Amino acid sequence: MHKPQRYCLITGSAGGIGQALVRGFSSAGYQVIATDVDVKPKGMNCQYYIQADLSLITNDEQYAANFFSTVRQYVRSNGLHVLINNAAIQILGGVDSLNRQDWQNTLDVNLLAPFFLTKSFLPELESVKGSVINISSIHATLTKSNFVAYATSKAALSGMTKAMAIDLGSRVRVNAIEPAAIETEMLIAGFNNNPALLKNLKDYHPAGRIGQADELAKLAIAIASDGMSSLHGACVTFDGGISSRLFDPE
């Protein structure tokens, strides 16, 4: 008997976590529709790729309609089994420096785009009892200086995950993953070739290491699976135990 195709839409797919999600869901047999504001990375194995700007999807109705139409052309009558709202921007700055545009850009991509994508694809998601997975952050509950816009957007995303689960009930499952540091090329580059400082970060985690993008993808695949029908409105911590650690300055 022919098994129906399962479709997965992943935003922010050109980044380290996004590429791992694309690899993972493709390997799990999904027809992956990847999207990012950047061009398709070389070697990415996905069925479809759409270069699109989430801030325009949030603010420009015609642009958004064109994007939704393109996705529906790929999905056809198969339904959308998984929507992963992974894309995010991180504008650093404190209360004294953040301006209106910083806030608008952050909220457009990190919070409003996940809402409007979920709302727009509800018919496709509901038709197959689909799953929405929002990639939130440890910053939703624990943060540090100069992350006020990013942390606020992620706290709101985790809160919206829970509220959407209540609002949608049994129609579509909605969950979030809240990762701490993930070992991507971007993170490694941020240590400016300082292996000692990177080792300190790894050692500070009770697990003795930081998360891997492919591990996060495995978690997302598990959350999306049919065997997780009771997992709904959850914000799953993925942080190597660091959120349980009390820091005492020496």
> In the structure, what pLDDT confidence band is assigned to residue 1 with cuts at 50, 70 and 90?
low
Task: Tell me, yes or no, whether 16 lies in a domain.
Answer: yes
Annotated catalytic, 204?
no
pLDDT over 60 (residue 95): yes
Task: Tell me, yes or no, whether 107 lies in a domain.
Answer: yes
CB 158 within 8 A of CB 200: no
pLDDT in tens, 6-20: 999 999 999 999 999
Q: Considering only 4-8, 67-71, 166-170, 193-197, which range has the smallest mean pLDDT? A: 193-197
Task: Tell me, yes or no, whether 205 lies in a domain.
Answer: no
User: For the whole prediction, is pTM greater than 0.75?
Assistant: yes
Q: Is 137 helix (H, G, I), strand (E, B) or coil?
A: coil
State the helix-helix crossing angle for 113-120 and 61-75, rounded to 10 degrees.
Answer: 50
> In the structure, what pLDDT confidence band is assigned to residue 191 with cuts at 50, 70 and 90?
confident
Q: What percent of the chain is predicted at pLDDT more than 90?
A: 89
Distance CA 202, CA 129 (A): 38
pLDDT over 70 (residue 250): no
Q: Which of 30, 49, 150, 204 is catalytic?
A: 150
Task: Tell me, yes or no, whether 200 lies in a domain.
Answer: no
Per-residue pLDDT averaged across 179-184, rounded?
93
Domain count, the chain: 1
Q: 111 φ, ψ to 5°?
A: -125, -50
Q: 3-state DSSP helix/strand/coil percent for the chain, to nearest 5?
A: 45, 15, 40
Task: Tell me, yes or no, whether 175 lies in a domain.
Answer: yes
pLDDT over 70 (residue 109): yes
Whole-number pLDDT of residue 2: 59
Q: Considering only 4-8, 62-66, 103-107, 130-134, which range has the smallest mean pLDDT? A: 4-8
Looking up residue 52, the CATH number of its domain turns out to be: 3.40.50.720
Per-residue pLDDT averaged across 195-211, rounded?
91
Whole-number pLDDT of residue 179: 97
- The whole domain housing 174 covers 6-182+213-236
Task: Tell me, yes or no, whether 88 lies in a domain.
Answer: yes
pLDDT over 70 (residue 68): yes
